[in-house]
Amino acid sequence: MKKRRLLYYYLWIILLFSYFIVCGMFLQPPGDIVRGLYRIVTDPSVLVSDYLEIGGIAATFINAGLLGIICTAIVMKLDMKPNGSIYLALFCVFGFGFFGKNLLNIWPILTGAYMYSRRKRQPFRNYIVIALLSTSLAPAVNQIFVLIDGPTVSAMILSAFSGVMLGFVMPPIASHCVKMHEGFILTNSGFASGFIAILFVSMFRSFGVELKGREVWSSNYTNELAVAIIFVMMCMIFVGFIKKDESSRTLVELNEETGRLVTDFFVLYGKHIPLINMGIVGIAYTVFTLIWAGSLNGPFTAGIFTIVGFAGFGLHLRNVIPITVGAVLGSMLNIWPHNSNTLMVIILFGTALAPFSGYYGPVWGILAGFIHMCIALNLSSITAGINLYNNGFIAGIVVICLLPVASSLRDDY
pLDDT digits (tens, 9 = 90+) for 78-105: 999 899 999 999 999 999 999 999 999 9
pLDDT of res. 211? 77
Half-sphere exposure of 320 (CA within 13 A, CB side): 28
User: Comparing C-alpha atoms, which of 96, 19, 105 is closest to residue 52?
Assistant: 96
In the chain, how long is the greatest CA-to-CA distance?
66
CA distances from 308 to 74, 178, 228 (A): 21, 22, 14
**Angle, helix 153-181 to helix 188-206, in steps of 10 degrees:** 130
- Residue 36 in any domain: the answer is no
Mean pLDDT, rounded, for 149-159: 72
- Residue 29 in any domain: the answer is no
Q: How many structural domains compose the chain?
A: 1
Averaged pLDDT of the chain: 92
- Residue 330 in any domain: the answer is yes
Does pLDDT of 1 surpass 70? no
Q: Which residues pair with 216 in a beta bridge?
A: 49
- Residue 366 in any domain: the answer is yes
Q: For 173-230, what is each residue's pLDDT tens digit?
A: 999 999 999 999 999 999 999 999 999 888 888 887 777 778 899 989 999 999 999 9
Asked, as a colleague might, if the bond just before 405 is cis with ω within 30 of 0, I would say no
SS3 call for 46: coil
**Domain limits at 275?**
222-411
Residue 346 contacts residue 372 (beta carbons within 8 Å): yes
- Residue 237 in any domain: the answer is yes
- Backbone torsion region of residue 384, taken as left when φ is above 0, otherwise alpha when ψ lies between -120 and 50, otherwise beta: left
Mean pLDDT, rounded, for 135-139: 94
> Where do runs of H (alpha helix) occur along 78-221?
84-95, 107-119, 128-133, 139-147, 153-181, 188-206
Q: What is the pTM of this model?
A: 0.95
pLDDT of res. 321? 98
CA pair distance 69, 214, nearest whole angstrom: 29
Q: For 289-348, what is each residue's pLDDT tens digit?
A: 999 999 999 999 999 999 999 999 999 999 999 999 999 999 999 888 777 899 999 999
- Residue 30 in any domain: the answer is no
Does pLDDT of 75 surpass 90? yes
CA pair distance 5, 9, nearest whole angstrom: 7
Residue 288 contacts residue 328 (beta carbons within 8 Å): no
CA pair distance 185, 264, nearest whole angstrom: 14
Half-sphere exposure of 36 (CA within 13 A, CB side): 25
CA pair distance 320, 369, nearest whole angstrom: 10
- Residue 347 in any domain: the answer is yes
- Residue 354 in any domain: the answer is yes
Give 369's pLDDT tier (boundaries 50, 70, 90): very high
CA distances from 382 to 47, 58, 159, 202, 372 (A): 12, 33, 21, 8, 16
Q: For 25-55, what is each residue's pLDDT tens digit?
A: 999 999 999 999 999 998 889 889 999 999 9
User: Comparing C-alpha atoms, which of 161, 164, 169 is closest to residue 196?
Assistant: 169
Q: For 256-284, what is each residue's pLDDT tens digit?
A: 999 999 999 999 998 899 999 999 999 99
Alpha carbon 310 to its chain's center: 9
Give 413's pLDDT tier (boundaries 50, 70, 90): very low
